[in-house]
Amino acid sequence: MVDDSAEADLALVRLADPRSGSDLTGLEFTGSEPAYQALQKAARSGTRTVATPKLDRPLVLTDVARTADAVLADFGVSDAVLLDTVFGKRSPGGTLPFELPSSQKEVEAQLGDMPDDTAHPLYERGYGLHYRASTRDPKFADSNLR
């Protein structure tokens, strides 16, 4: 652990739901959230970044995905499991239970009672990340990202 992200080998940043807008229903980060600012600072310093947004609902993660080197959806995983996944001791699992919109405008244009109907989702429902088998290290059959 270091105090300055520029000295880090990797910045792992957990992002809480931004609850933006006057009625707190906004799904995108405004840039004022401390964790989002930490992600931006780490990325500007050249440190490799992994963003882990808490997805209690479908957030707009377009800027997060542009900024971070990797994005791992967080549905309540513990710190220990997250670290084991990032460092290859376990494979990520699961798929998105909903699509993630690419912008707040996409959200506003969709029907309120229709799932998965944004015109250009950032990630579609069912998108998932896993490691593929590697022949280099039989101990870790899942050491390469796919």
Q: Please give the angle made by the CA atoms of 136, 139 and 144, to the nearest 5 degrees.
A: 50
Average pLDDT, the chain: 86
Separation CA 95–CA 46 (nearest Å): 29
Dist CA 85 CA 64 (whole Å): 19
Q: Cα 44 vs. chain centroid, distance in angstroms? A: 18
Domain spans, the chain = 5-76+94-128
Which residues are within 8 A (CB) of 66 and not within 5 positions of it... i.e. 6 or more apart?
none
112-139, pLDDT tens digit by residue?
A: 778 888 899 999 999 987 766 554 444 4
pTM above 0.85, yes or no: no
Question: Residue 10 pairs with which residues in a beta bridge?
Answer: 48
Q: What fold does the segment set 5-76+94-128 form as a domain?
A: Rossmann fold (3.40.50)
